[in-house]
Structure 1
Amino acid sequence: MNTEIHTKTLKLRVRDKHVAALNNMARAVNFVWNYCNELSSRSIRERGKWLSGYDFQSYTKGANKELGLNSATVQMIGHEYATRRKKFKKMRLNWRKSRGSKRSLGWIPVRKDCISFKNGCVYHNKIHFKLWDSYGLDKYTFKSGSFNEDARGRWYFNVVVEFEAPEHAGTGSIGIDLGCKEAATDSNGNKVTGRHYRCLETTLGLAQRAGKKRRAKAIHAKIKNRRADELHKYSRKLVNENAAIFVGNVNSLVVVK
């Protein structure tokens, strides 16, 4: 069977004992981002020059030692800022906040040559980060990656890896109709409801009225995970069994005459 090299992103939970170290690194990342934001804005306003990612490198060289970051991480922040600024066509992007109710979720970019995996740990910036490894990272080749925080303060390691995809074996064909009552219904009669919040509405309402924000966030995360799990299993089953998938033309506009 022929195989092709593809890439995919794996998301793994980082043990909670590393939260303090990751939060410190995230605050340093925010500092570098905000510095690039202010520097870029002044350069455009005063000199009419749009700084590139390589320009930021000369201004931030050596800052990693003071901030406790890897030098490659500081470089990647500058390149990411330049990419985002070009994409949104703005002189100044939003500030990354480390405190307050509207603080930015933690983000720490890492380069493939600055990470390694061994014995269930990712080694980066002289720290071994213990993970819940449900994929077996030893068998993958790493590309780029990052540490990311979710709304509940949990940290995850997201890494792009290479893998060999076997030749597709599905031979059937199927049609899918997207709807409102059910998220999707296929020509075989299988349905995806996507209404997992219904069974948790009462619990979520009680938590919100009681002002239990942490509990409400946990319930929202449970709803999201259930929906994603159902959709992933359904789509994986469709791809494995079929060579052709047809989706109905859905128009959400309603014309009233």
Structure 2
Amino acid sequence: MAQLVKRAFKFRFHPTPEQAGELARTFGCARLVYNKALHHRTHAYTSEGRKISYVESSATLTQWKKTEDLAFLNEVSSVPLQQALRHLQAAFANFFAKRAKYPTFKSRKESRASAEYTRSAFTYRDGQLTLAKMDGPLAIVWSRPLPEEAQPSTVTVSKDAAGRWFVSILCQDRIIPLPATANVVGVDAGITALATLSTEEKIVNPQHERADRRKLAKAQRTLTRTEKGSANRQKAKLKVARVHARITDRRRDHLHKVTTRLVRENRTVVIEDLTVRNMVKNHTLARAISDASWRQMRTMLEYKAQWYGRELLVVDRWVPSSKLCSACGAIQRSMPLNVREWVCACGASHDRDVNAAKNILAAGLAER
């Protein structure tokens, strides 16, 4: 049975000079409101021990708009400013729930600037999207169609460090579950092979960062030779950002293809609970681990399994998947990283990664 889910559809668009100027002002005002509200809430708590709610912050924003110094806030749509306050409220909620660190100030040098518009601040009609304070629709590159009779609830406009403009449209989509299958698979994440399956298949890791490392290094060297504040420095920064964007886009595309295939072909997918944050502290492997992007792969598997009626199981990171013989259950005393193949006392010959994937699958099925 099909289910309705909220899904964001992201597209590139090409603003006119007037639209780009309006959006740049909106980005700046939203960042200013966020930072001033954060300062206000922090000062109230440290000096008076008083917590400020979203409602009080919203009322304070109204007062700011009436002052001479901040009257320019009235020149942009009020909705992105209110949404900035809501994002700050969510950041504090995550902090007090111990899910995140204390909110930090936003910098104009951040790689991505964005503004969020709710339904009252945009119109979507006949395949055209028009934002508040703009006299015409955005020139969106519709790389794929929105769901039939889509009614967007939220629109987020952003600009990345490479100078590309994006619009993310949130709307309801009808997801049709995939055909039933009895297949189950264990997945061992790696560096040489992005994923080794319990079926003994190894999915190659394209290593996109390594492929463009020379081009990236050249762009970074050019950047270091430019003078701070010069026009050439801005051009060099843009070149570096474009190389990074190319790496990120290709990596994301490959991960989408891999995770979609795993979810489509298997009823149950079992993965290992890896602590990537601790693993990247190994300076020898940090670059390769970051390039593999295991955390992003897990996130994709989680929401795709939920969408399409599949099961994703996560086994404890302390399961000795590499040292355990999948044939007899014997545990080896040690298993250095340079050992890629080994023979158990029972006579079974193992590929390290395939053996780990089989053990991950067995552990996941045993725990559910």
What is the TM-score with the length of structure 2 in the denominator? 0.61
Unmatched 5+ stretches in structure 2? 224-235, 280-317, 323-333, 337-368
Structure 2 counterpart of 1:233, one-letter code: K
Instruction: Give the deviation of 1:26 after TM superposition.
Output: 0.5
Is this contact kept in 2: 1:117–1:138, CA < 8 A? no
Distance between the aligned counterparts of 2:46 and 2:271, measured in 1?
A: 49
Name the SS for the 1:13 alignment partner.
strand
Residue 28 of structure 1 aligns with which residue?
29
- Percent identical: 19
The alignment status of 1:42 with 2:30, answered yes or no, reads no
SS at match of 2:7: strand
Query: Deviation at 1:73?
Result: 2.4
Q: 1:46 to 1:72 in 2, by over 3 A?
A: same
Which of 248, 261, 273 is matched with 1:237 structurally?
261
**Superposed counterparts of 1:139-218, under 5 Å:** 139=148, 140-171=150-181, 172-186=183-197, 187=199, 189-211=201-223, 212-218=236-242
CA shift for structure 1 position 190: 4.4
The equivalent residue for 1:52 is: 53
1:10 and 1:158 in contact (8 A); partners too: yes
Letter in 1 for 2:144: Y
Pairwise CA distance, 1:91: 11
Q: Give the secondary structure class of the aligned counterpart of 2:52.
A: coil
| 2:143 aligned partner, one-letter code | S
* Equivalent of 2:85 in 78, 90, 108: 78
Q: Name the counterpart of 1:131.
A: 140
Shift of 1:37: 1.8
Q: Distance in 2 between matches of 1:32 and 1:217?
A: 27
Q: CA deviation at 1:144?
A: 2.6
Aligned partner letter, 1:179: G
Shift of 1:92: 7.4
2-structure distance, mates of 1:29, 1:249: 37
Verify: 1:221 aligned to 2:275, yes or no.
no
Distance 2:101 2:263 in 1: 43
Q: Structure 1 counterpart of 2:139, which letter?
A: K
Could you tell me whether the CA contact under 8 Å between 2:95 and 2:101 is conserved in 1?
Answer: no
**Residues 12 and 141 in structure 2, CA contact (< 8 A), matched pair in contact too:** yes
- Which one scores higher on RCO, CA 8 angstroms, separation ≥ 6? 1
CA contact (8 A) 1:120 1:131 kept: no
Q: More displaced, 116-125 or 150-159? A: 116-125
State the Cα distance separating 1:120 from its structure 2 match: 4.6
| Amino acid across the alignment from 1:207 | A
Q: Kindly report which structure 2 residues correspond to 1:103-122, keeping only aligned pairs within 5 A, or say none.
A: 103=110, 105-122=112-129
CA contact (8 A) 2:158 2:166 kept: yes
Give the whole-Å Cα distance in 1 for the aligned partners of 2:147 and 2:187: 38
**Residue 184 of structure 1, CA deviation:** 0.7
Instruction: Name the residue aligned to 1:3.
Output: 2
What 5-or-longer segments of structure 1 have no aligned partner?
none
The structure-2 alpha-carbon separation of the partners of 1:223 and 1:104, relative to structure 1 and needing over 3 Å to count, comes to: closer
C-alpha separation in 1, matches of 2:117 and 2:249: 26
1:187-226 deviations in Å (ceiling 9; x for gaps): 2624131412232222222222222332222111111111
Aligned length: 253
Q: 1:75 to 1:207 in 2, by over 3 A?
A: closer
Name the CA shift for 1:91/1:202 in 2 (closer, same or farther; >3 Å): closer
Structure whose alpha-carbon radius of gyration is higher: 2
Deviations 1:109-139 (A, max 9, x none): 2113322223553212132322112232373
Task: Give the residue type in structure 1 aligned to 2:203.
Answer: K
Give yes or no for contact 2:114–2:156 (8 Å, CA) kept in 1: yes
